[in-house]
Amino acid sequence: MTHFEGARRPLGRVEHQDVLFSTEADISEAQAATDRFPDSPAGGLVIGEILLLRLRSLMARACGDDTGYGAYRDRFRELATSLGFEGDMEWAGAMP
C-alpha cells in the first residue's frame, strides 16, 4: 500500500493498482501523455501496446469510467495471456 502525501484533498491509503490524481490538471496531463504514447518509439512495440492498455484502464478507473475500465482491463488481460507475460498476467488478474 502507498500513501500520497502531497494531495490537496485527503486520498488516504490505496492499493498499488489505484491511480491517484490530486487535481484536474493531473488528470489532463496523464491523459495527454497516454494520447501521445502511441507515437513514441515504444508505441509501435507489443510491450508498448500492453503498457498502454494497462495505463488506459487505470486512467478510466480513476475517472470513474466503469465501462471503459472494464473494456481496457479485459483487453489488457487477453493480450497479457496471449503473450504469456506472467507479470502482466498477475497485474491483470488483480484488477477487479
Q: Per residue of the chain (96 residues), give pLDDT as tens.
A: 333 333 333 333 334 444 456 677 878 888 888 888 888 887 788 888 998 999 889 888 888 899 999 999 999 999 999 999 998 899 999 998
Rama region for 64: left / alpha / beta (φ>0; ψ in -120 to 50; rest): left
For 72, the domain range is 2-94
Count of domains forming the chain: 1
Quote the pLDDT of residue 44.
Answer: 80
Whole-structure pTM value: 0.71
- Residue with grid cell 498477475, as numbered in its chain: 90
Rama region for 84: left / alpha / beta (φ>0; ψ in -120 to 50; rest): left
